[in-house]
Chain A
């Protein structure tokens, strides 16, 4: 490997089958293709129409997460809860995987879960891999030093048929995080602050590498939260160089390499970092010490403020006015004291065990406010099991929250878990777009601690007074 290359360039060049030219994009090899029920049926239809096979089912991993119910379900008879369309889509996924010989972690699997949660959990996500999925939050897997990005359904077909993609090389953006997050401030607040700084299009055309002491200090689950929301800054992907924490996380997972393969993999992974003299197309720096809990006030994740800061006034911009009208939020004062109807802890951003623990720590021995509905949806069936072992389910239940089966749930409301028209939802998910959680839903994005504190108070709340 020549010196002076970035982590991204190392992984990229390791996967170039045919280099790009002025006339043609690169042919890039894909090591892991994750698929789910929503963005694949049309791709399988295409393969069928052209008489093609799935070329490398062994490099393809399928699950069902988006339109699946989060109430306990054992057979298709129960699927009425999610509506005929979703039930058909789920059934189609099972048929397609069977026909094309792809492993499906379906309803009966104890390893089922949100696609971006189970990839790492199973050890299928590994440093140095190229990982794609017909899903924009594929950027999550970059937390392991993989090059991971979302693709469309046509491209899902390309990968199924050839295990490759046609790609132009993106640019690079280094984000240096110094310092350490103060108590009550977590990686969700860090990434929201970054998006607030660079904007929802600040990363367009770029792969972000997050680095510095503030990133090194984060555990793997917190790193996944950061990389997960790279797409919310418009970036193609987010990456973090693997280190001892990455290796310790992967050790012994079902799909991690074993024996001599493990040793070889670890020594390969240890070289996966940007060289000191590597040049990035852009750089930015942020100090973790200075951060506070963050909360969104508008209809994209870049419209974000510190929990006690006043909502800024940018009403000369009609798009800004439209967003605040939709949110029924006024400028000039903080969001705290805004009445809360729904609290959602879940999604591929914040549904891992540490996220649930952070919410449970705030809730332990307390009751959520009257009139607030709180839904806690673990990211996978494994996390559900682990959380129950720790008694988190009982803490949530005692506080008055609902404890569910794994899935995307209220992050996008495809499965019947929705926020009502006009209701305000404090959500640990990643998108506060108009209508994302339900028609007319008003979503504010926050960390699991802020979400839990808001459930207790019945108003948007700073979690720090609730810390023990």
Chain B
């Protein structure tokens, strides 16, 4: 995995609450056996009408969304299905971070494992971001901070281990495999076997 330390981008805002992973990528696109190219399916049924035509006023289809790498969304982003295709699709489309007041557990976990930074902010910051789409934010994973255009700094919570892995570009499976002696010992000494 490539280390992720620091980046800047403008935001695109999708204020809807409870955006589930079925909306992020509908199930009919999950028949793939790879993780490439899923950006095309991102928010598919919000971006395209049933006849395949583009829905011009959906925010991702507007010219202002071009090049935006930060998605600001309503609370409880990523609820529902555990499909990791959701962060894969967001990353493939070009997003590098998602911001909300609340991010669903499995989606947050999946995002961290793939280098999509899930950022939970307080209600006041969230409100400011919702009201000011397109502003440029500076995200520093090393310090777990987000810097607003006026220089205001917002600290965001991120699991220390996940942050370490992101910043150093460490694959969590590698770390887990280093624990193999402990795993073997556990298997040998546990009081019952499944």
Closest CB in chain B relative to A198 CB, distance in Å = 12
Q: Which of B18, B30, B74 has the most CB of A within 10 A?
A: B18
* B89-145 residues at the A interface, CB under 8 angstroms: 102, 104-106, 109-110, 113-114
A41 touches B33 (CB 8 A): yes
A39 touches B84 (CB 8 A): yes
* A11-36 residues at the B interface, CB under 8 angstroms: 14, 17-18, 22-25, 27, 29, 31-32
Q: How far is the CA of A413 from the CA of B31 in the complex (A)?
A: 12
A319 touches B35 (CB 8 A): no
Closest CB in chain B relative to A61 CB, distance in Å = 11
Q: How many residues on chain A are close to B (CB under 8 Å)? A: 76
Q: How many residues on chain B are close to A (CB under 8 Å)? A: 53
A27 touches B176 (CB 8 A): yes
Among listed B20-28, B55-63, B148-156, interface-contacting one: B20-28
* B1-39 residues at the A interface, CB under 8 angstroms: 15-18, 20, 22-23, 26-28, 30-35
B183 touches A439 (CB 8 A): no
Closest CB in chain A relative to B40 CB, distance in Å = 14
Q: Which of B26, B33, B106 contacts A88 (CB 8 A)?
A: B33
A81 on interface, CB distance cutoff 8 Å? no
* A157-185 residues at the B interface, CB under 8 angstroms: 157-158, 161-166, 168, 170
B22 touches A268 (CB 8 A): no
Q: Which of A85, A322, A421 contacts B16 (CB 8 A)?
A: A322
Contacts of B20 in A (CB 8 A): 300, 431, 433
A200 touches B79 (CB 8 A): yes
Among listed A147-155, A345-353, A354-362, interface-contacting one: A147-155
Among listed A129-137, A278-286, A328-336, interface-contacting one: A129-137
A168 touches B159 (CB 8 A): yes
Contacts of A165 in B (CB 8 A): 176
B105 touches A205 (CB 8 A): yes
B82 touches A150 (CB 8 A): yes
A440 on interface, CB distance cutoff 8 Å? yes
Q: How far is the CA of A83 from the CA of B81 in the complex (A)?
A: 22
Complex interface bits, B175-194 against A, C-beta within 8 A gives 1, otherwise 0: 11101101100110010101
Contacts of A158 in B (CB 8 A): 172-173, 176
Q: Which of A46, A236, A412, A413 contacts B105 (CB 8 A)?
A: A236
B161 touches A24 (CB 8 A): yes
Q: How far is the CA of A191 from the CA of B192 in the complex (A)?
A: 33
If A201-B79, A421-B50 touch, does A435 touch B26 (CB 8 Å cutoff)? yes
Q: How far is the CA of A149 from the CA of B74 in the complex (A)?
A: 25
Q: How far is the CA of A35 from the CA of B3 in the complex (A)?
A: 30
Q: Which residue of A lies closest to B87 (CB)?
A: A152
If A168-B159, A319-B16 touch, does A155 touch B31 (CB 8 Å cutoff)? no
Contacts of A265 in B (CB 8 A): 192
Q: Which of B22, B35, B159 contacts A434 (CB 8 A)?
A: B22
Closest CB in chain B relative to A106 CB, distance in Å = 16
If A163-B183, A435-B23 touch, does A67 touch B31 (CB 8 Å cutoff)? yes
Q: How far is the CA of A264 from the CA of B50 in the complex (A)?
A: 57
* A30-89 residues at the B interface, CB under 8 angstroms: 31-32, 38-39, 41-42, 45-46, 50, 59, 66-67, 83, 85-86, 88-89
Q: Which of B50, B105, B175, B187 contacts A204 (CB 8 A)?
A: B105
Q: Which of A23, A89, A155 has the most CB of B within 10 A?
A: A155
Q: Which residue of B lies closest to A134 (CB)?
A: B82
* A97-141 residues at the B interface, CB under 8 angstroms: 126, 129, 134-136
Closest CB in chain A relative to B111 CB, distance in Å = 9
B16 touches A413 (CB 8 A): no
Closest CB in chain A relative to B142 CB, distance in Å = 15
Q: How far is the CA of A405 from the CA of B115 in the complex (A)?
A: 40
A433 touches B159 (CB 8 A): no
| Residues of A near any B CB (own CB < 8 A) | 14, 17-18, 22-25, 27, 29, 31-32, 38-39, 41-42, 45-46, 50, 59, 66-67, 83, 85-86, 88-89, 92, 126, 129, 134-136, 150-155, 157-158, 161-166, 168, 170, 200-201, 204-205, 231-232, 234, 236, 264-265, 268, 300, 302, 317-319, 322, 412-414, 421, 431, 433-436, 439-440
What 9 pairs between A and B have smallest CB-CB spacing?
A85-B31, A31-B194, A41-B33, A152-B110, A152-B84, A150-B82, A319-B17, A136-B82, A201-B76
Additional pairs, 4, CB under 8 Å, beyond known A129-B194, A161-B176: A152-B109, A165-B176, A431-B81, A433-B23
Q: List 13 A-B contacts (CB under 8 A).
A: A38-B83, A41-B32, A154-B110, A154-B114, A162-B179, A162-B183, A165-B176, A166-B172, A166-B176, A234-B79, A414-B30, A421-B50, A431-B81
